[in-house]
Amino acid sequence: MNDTQLSALREAAADGVSCDGLRVERIGEEYTFATPEATHEGLDEESFDALAQENPWLVSNWHFWAGASETRRAYCRWIERADELGVRERYEALVEGLSREWGELLVTAGLGEDGERVYELRHVDDADTEPDALALHDDPLDAREIATADEDGRYRPLKTAPTLRRGWRFAGLDARDLVRTVEFFYPATVTNWFREREGDLDVTHFRETADRQTGIYQVVDELDEDGVENLAAACCVDSQCCKRREWDEDEETKLDVPRGDGAFPCREPCSLVIAAARQWAILENEESRTYEFELTPSEKNQIEDILGAVADGRTDEIREADVGDGANRYRARYLRAKRTDEDGNFENVVERQ
Amino acid sequence: MPALVIAAHGSHLNPGSHDPAFAHADTIRAAGAFDEVREAFWKEEPSFREVLRTVESEEVYVVPLFVSEGYFTEQVIPRELRLEGWDVAEWDSDGTDADHVTLTADDVEKTVHYCGPVGTHESMTDVIVQRAETVTGDPDVGEGFGIAVVGHGTDRNENSAKAIEYHAERVRETERFDEVQALFMDEEPEVDDVAEYFEAEDVVVVPLFVADGYHTQEDIPEDMGLTDDYREGYDVPTEVDDTRIWYAGAVGTEALLADVLLERAADAGADVGNALDLVRQRTGGTAAAGD
């Protein structure tokens, strides 16, 4: 606690203060100062100050939260588990750091001077990496650049895809810059998480989103119920996105696809999902046909292996010489050489409407 | 203090598409006119749909980082921002003179000053000229030079061409360049034949596009004959049919564009203090014509 915090508390006493077990009031010239242990009434300013000096953690803790906006306050209190831990326990734990996972981010709250909090942010997979081994940042705007490309330098159009690259940390952030940094990595996640906590999350379901599309996206509303189910299975699961899907087909029609385990909610289909939905709405307008062409059982299995490997993003993991894997590049090249013509199309296909 | 939101297109495919929005936002942040400055995108995050809830301010100025008035500025952005009671008639525009309108966004109940796009603001003319200065390295460029303002052009939206012709006319009125032409990719007169439209030996070509991407880096340089294959690059200037072409790339990457964003907000009533001067100092701009 410092003098600024103490005088702010004296000033706030006229309106009454209640924060994490500290309760302060002033009526006329008399103060009340209550801690979780004891209540002191009828105090003059000198005795009031003395009690504040004896309880510096309670005072600095109040002062820290008093300055925060509602959303920031809720988020930062969640990080340090303010609902579960008392001020004393929290201050002791904050010396070591209190952490939460937020998508692929690891947010750690620590104790700064006079009860101020300082925050650190890094990739969850870098949790045990020595700080010096990580590139140090302190400007929230840097998060935009880090989030632009994955580990292999490929562009990440979806900010909440679980492909955030590692090797960096933000240190010494205050609460405002912490939230800004988190929201540059994962835009609108803190604010939507807070709305959800307050029971105020405005979910826009697929049908409503589809109905509002215009231009080339107007076709999206033609995707049927199975199509929407497959859309969610393709795009909106933990392996593809850190958000937890809260939208469904519509208010009455829930999707079977699991919502995911993300800390923060997804309140409506995103632009990537709508762009994909447009593609599938167009494809789904085609009628099925019957094709007849020859494959050995192993070749049929191999095509299924290839489908699985591509869909799961596993092609990079298949070892060069692992010709036992149906999706191995040499296996695929052999199949192509054997069964397709120079344009890569299957040969001798019989097609029936 | 109010917030500024810069609403841009962005891309699912091209990371460079967001660079101008980021760069101009950073310039304006540094000038301190707004407590919060946030970029928002159609194809990236934060989306138009969610950006208003990411700022703490109750009052927000939204400036579209788009070239022309039309589908995005009149339909998509107001709809996605949930601007209650939006009616394009209130803009009372003939395609180049949309100003601003103040409405409430119904999911956040914030006051939104929705501004016209940067591309049709009169100060954009200064950015085009500044781009010519930047690419030639000559702050006095003009005499002996022609300048072509290039747009996409499309039969689907007549406003797309209006913005190009508007600025070409304004550059012409300054009488700074010997010749001025509005040229297009997809309609007549076409940028392919750029040399045919000028007598001058030197011609600056400034595409009125927000970001450098497929059109400004691949299509236009190849169409003009600066290079057979964009991957091999080209010189500035490159001689084509006895004309030296000074190809400037997308005007949206010019630092001075931050000034136009601020002017849009100031026109809508934002108190930007001395930020306009600060931004001009930082971006090398001079006072707008008529100031």
- Tell me how far apart the alpha carbons of residues B139 and A265 are, in angstroms, rounded to a whole number: 52
Does the beta carbon of B107 lie under 8 angstroms from any beta carbon of chain A?
Answer: yes
Report how far residue A255's alpha carbon sits from residue B113's, in angstroms, rounded to the nearest whole number: 38
pLDDT at residue A241 in the model: 98
- DSSP, collapsed to helix, strand or coil, labels residue A239 as coil
Q: What is the pLDDT of residues A112-151, one digit of tens each?
A: 999 999 999 999 999 999 999 999 999 999 999 999 999 9
Selecting from A69, A268, A271 the residue whose C-beta is nearest the C-beta of B56 gives A69
In the three-class reduction of DSSP (H, G, I as helix; E, B as strand; rest coil), residue B115 is classed as strand
The CA distance from A236 to A247, in Å, is 10
Fold annotation for B122-253: Rossmann fold (3.40.50)
**Does position B290 have pLDDT exceeding 70, yes or no?**
no
Q: How many residues does chain B have?
A: 291
DSSP state of A217: G
C-alpha to C-alpha distances, B264 to B35, B145, B260, B261, nearest whole angstrom: 17, 30, 6, 5
Does B3-120+255-283 match B122-253 in CATH topology? yes
Average pLDDT, chain A: 96
| Closest alpha carbon to A255 in A229, A226, A221 | A229
Rounded Cα–Cα distance for residues A154 and A313 (Å): 13
pLDDT higher than 60, residue B63: yes
Cross-chain residue pair B22–A272, CB shorter than 8 Å = no
Residue B279, amino acid: V
Q: Report CB contact under 8 Å: A271, B13.
A: no
How high is the ipTM of this complex?
0.92
Mean pLDDT (chain B, rounded): 92
Searching chain B, which residue's CA lies closest to the CA of residue A209? B80
Q: Give the pLDDT band of residue B186 (cuts 50, 70, 90).
A: confident
The band of B291, judged by pLDDT with boundaries at 50, 70 and 90, is very low
* Domain locations along chain B: 3-120+255-283, 122-253
Instruction: Give yes or no for a contact between A120 and A97, defined as CB atoms under 8 angstroms apart.
Output: yes
User: pLDDT (tens digit, 9 = 90+) per residue, A189-240?
Assistant: 999 999 999 999 999 999 999 999 999 999 999 999 999 999 999 999 999 9
Q: Decide if B25 contacts B6 (C-beta within 8 A).
A: yes
Mutate to test the interface with A, among B45, B83, B109 (most CBs of A within 10 A): B45
> Regarding the domain delimited by A71-197, which CATH topology (the fold level of the hierarchy) does it fall under?
Gyrase A; domain 2 (3.30.1360)
Check: CB of residue B98 under 8 Å from CB of residue B73.
yes
pLDDT, average across residues A77-88: 96
> Is the model's pLDDT at B287 over the cut of 70?
no
Query: Residue A217: left if φ>0, alpha if ψ -120 to 50, beta else—which one?
Result: alpha
| Whether the Cβ atoms of residue A64 and residue A112 lie closer than 8 Å to each other | no
Is the Cβ–Cβ distance between B146 and B180 less than 8 Å? Answer: yes
- Chain B residue nearest residue A143, CA to CA: B22
Confirm whether pTM is higher than 0.90.
Answer: yes
DSSP state of A287: P
Q: How confident is the model at residue A319 (pLDDT cuts 50, 70, 90)?
A: very high
A150: nearest CA partner in chain B: B15
Which residues, in sequence order, are CB contacts of B12 under 8 Å at separation 6+? A157, A271, A272, A275, B43, B44
Neighbours of B266 (CB within 10 A): 17
Residue B95 clears pLDDT 90, i.e. is over it: no
Q: Is residue B234 scored above 50 in pLDDT?
A: yes
Contacts of A187 in chain B (CB under 8 A): 45-47, 50-51, 54
CATH of domain B3-120+255-283: 3.40.50.1400
- Interstrand relation of B59-64 and B100-105 (parallel, antiparallel or unpaired): unpaired
Q: Which residue has the tokens 């100025």?
A: B61
Token couple for A267: 């309140």
Q: Is A286 touching B (CB cutoff 8 A)? A: no
Confidence of residue B286 (pLDDT cuts 50, 70, 90): low
Q: What is the CATH number of domain A202-285?
A: 3.30.70.2320
